[in-house]
Amino acid sequence: MKKKKLIVLALIIVIASAGIGTSYAIAVDAFNTNGDSEYWYDVAFTFVSTSDNEYVKDVAFVDAIIIDDNNIEVSLTNAYPGYIAYIDFTITNTGIDPIIVDAVTINPYNTVALDVQVVDVIAGTILYVNGDIIDGQVTIEVLQGAAQGTIYPVTIDIGFADFIE
């Protein structure tokens, strides 16, 4: 009988101890079980500009626009073999928590006509706070297999994940 009383007393102490922290959190209004989570992370393309290797004549044209936070749409018009377009961009941490860049992906494009390379963006780069940036560049070289008078679209997509220390 005495052993049962000790077990019951031990259980009461454990339950009471567990409730002390919760009771304190509720008393100081720090325990909130409804509403939005405070943890939020995101990145976005915040800047894009273009240039090319044409100096004497402007025959080809490159255009790049940010279509949403994670994608840039690039189009080459009137491009010819040897033409190189440069797309400079900035990726910004727009969330309130650290993120890590998984990759910058070039979605499927015509590999016979174009060689597309991402420069200065490394998977694993950490953007610690809101406002941290990565400046990068995409170079698009038009190859011998390009058709005359064709518009070539290229979509650049960023991938990221939350950074857990």
**pLDDT per residue as tens digits for the range 29-76:** 554 555 555 557 788 899 999 999 998 888 999 999 999 988 999 999
- Which one, of 124, 56, 117, lies nearest residue 87 by Cα? 117
* Token pair belonging to 42: 């995101």
Q: Is 155 exposed, middle or buried (0-12, 13-18, 19+ CB in 10 A)?
A: middle
The three-class DSSP label of residue 99 is strand
**pLDDT per residue as tens digits for the range 145-163:** 999 889 999 999 988 888 8
Report field, pTM of the whole predicted structure over 0.85? no
**Sheet of 133-142, strands arranged across:** 43-52, 84-93, 133-142, 114-119
